[in-house]
Amino acid sequence: MSARSRDLAAELKQVIRLAGRDPEELEGRLPTLSSFHRVAQAGQLDDPASVHFILRRLIPEYLDRLPAGRDCRAIRELLTWEDDDGDAHSLTTRYHKAAAHLVNAAGDFGRRQEPRLLLECARRFIALDQDDRVGPAPASAAREPAARERPTPQPAAADAARSGIVAVHNGLDYHLLVEHMHGASEIAILNTWIPELNLLADALVDALTRGTSVSILMLYPDSEIARLRTQSLESSTRARFAEDRVQSGVRHCLEVLAAIARSVDDDSRRRLRVRLYHSLPSIAVYGVDDRAFVSVFLHGQLAVKSVQLEIHGRESTMGALAFGEMETLWEHGQEFKDVERWQTELTDMHPRFGIPR
């Protein structure tokens, strides 16, 4: 997420708190929004006029241009600070209305969901501002021949293409992952469990509704392997991981997945497949079509907090490794017939894995 997106999200946080009850407090405090093309095109505005234009013209029109989807509906609720009669909606009221659009919304909405939604809103507003700046393409910008569009790769670029590594991230970028999920035909996730699955829940619901196939593969929680992974996490944070973190993590994820299954129709529900594997965890993979974020399991650190290799191309060196490992574990996994009944089916899996009681 860019610095401009973070700055804009911080300004939007002030907007949703002050726009309805004290808009004068926003004067001089919205430099990023004031730099938008639409505001500049409005002419030389003083601070009060600039704030008025942003609150009454820019934001409402940008909200109308947002696409459909649960996150965008929730964003509209957060940024609708008054009704048609001009009566203000409290922030608490908007939290409740926004949460109603989300799946398994966190109880502490202001701490967990609001920052995520404001960053998503900032990213989309910046994209709309860029559209306004570019405008329609000039007639002279005709497409050149394909050979001109795709120059011969230089050796370093060719090596990168063969390896499949297109970027390296310090941790899993949930916003970038969700962005790739939009329009995907296939989503597949391999991990011991999926920390912060609630941040992906609404994107997964939207994907299933669009016809996307979603495959989830996690570690069987009632196994010695799960206990050993918990011990490896304890090595640097003993107090925090004193509980069996893998077991509770998998069970929480299954509950979230059950909520996702309940929120879609029968056809969409059939596109959600969940399996558990009983084997040594090797890599974590968050795959979207032929792209994936890949990390390894280190002692004392969650995989999502580790360095992430962004991979592109299933036939590339790293792509074949990541997607191949996922396919291998998938074949050896046990699948839930109905993830909404996960507690009953989880008990039945124990003998199927050949684990003695």
Asked whether residue 142 is assigned to any structural domain, the reply reads no
pLDDT higher than threshold 80 for residue 334: yes
Q: Write down which residue in 102, 134, 166 finishes a domain.
A: 134
pLDDT higher than threshold 70 for residue 316: yes
Based on the fold, state whether residues 66 and 124 are members of the same structural domain. Answer: yes
Asked whether residue 161 is assigned to any structural domain, the reply reads yes
Based on the fold, state whether residues 208 and 319 are members of the same structural domain. Answer: yes
pLDDT higher than threshold 60 for residue 279: yes
Based on the fold, state whether residues 319 and 218 are members of the same structural domain. Answer: yes
Based on the fold, state whether residues 265 and 126 are members of the same structural domain. Answer: no
Query: Do 82 and 89 contact (CB within 8 A), yes or no?
Result: yes
- The Cα 258–Cα 95 span in angstroms is 24
What mean pLDDT is predicted for residues 125-133? 90
Based on the fold, state whether residues 51 and 187 are members of the same structural domain. Answer: no
Based on the fold, state whether residues 99 and 207 are members of the same structural domain. Answer: no
pLDDT higher than threshold 70 for residue 103: yes
- What tokens were used for 307? 């360095």
Given this model, what pLDDT does residue 136 score?
A: 58
Based on the fold, state whether residues 96 and 175 are members of the same structural domain. Answer: no
What mean pLDDT is predicted for residues 203-225? 91
pLDDT higher than threshold 70 for residue 47: yes
pLDDT tens, residue by residue, 160-200: 557 889 899 999 988 889 889 988 899 999 999 898 898 89
Q: Which domain holds residue 304?
A: 157-350
Based on the fold, state whether residues 304 and 253 are members of the same structural domain. Answer: yes
Based on the fold, state whether residues 170 and 87 are members of the same structural domain. Answer: no
- The Cα 248–Cα 197 span in angstroms is 13
Outline where the chain has alpha helix (H). 3-18, 31-34, 37-41, 47-53, 59-65, 70-78, 91-99, 109-134, 146-149, 155-163, 174-181, 198-210, 224-234, 245-262, 266-270, 317-332, 342-352
The 8-class DSSP code of residue 296 comes to E
Asked whether residue 267 is assigned to any structural domain, the reply reads yes
Based on the fold, state whether residues 288 and 205 are members of the same structural domain. Answer: yes
Asked whether residue 152 is assigned to any structural domain, the reply reads no
> Higher pLDDT residue, 310 or 143?
310
Asked whether residue 356 is assigned to any structural domain, the reply reads no
Asked whether residue 139 is assigned to any structural domain, the reply reads no
Based on the fold, state whether residues 14 and 129 are members of the same structural domain. Answer: yes
What are the b/e assignments for 133-155, b being 16+ CB within 10 Å?
Answer: eeeeeeeeeeeeeeeeeeeeeee
Report the chain's mean pLDDT, rounded to a whole number.
Answer: 85
Based on the fold, state whether residues 100 and 185 are members of the same structural domain. Answer: no
Write the CB contacts of 271 (distance below 8 Å, at least 6 apart in sequence): 208, 211, 212, 213, 214
Model confidence, pTM: 0.63
Q: Write down which residue in 99, 119, 134 finishes a domain.
A: 134
Asked whether residue 310 is assigned to any structural domain, the reply reads yes
3-state DSSP assignment of residue 298: strand
pLDDT higher than threshold 60 for residue 89: yes
Given this model, what pLDDT does residue 260 score?
A: 95
The CATH number given to whatever domain includes residue 305 is 3.30.870.10
- The Cα 241–Cα 300 span in angstroms is 9
Beta bridge partners of 64: none
Write the CB contacts of 113 (distance below 8 Å, at least 6 apart in sequence): 74, 98, 99, 102, 105, 106
Asked whether residue 144 is assigned to any structural domain, the reply reads no
Q: What is the domain count for the chain?
A: 2
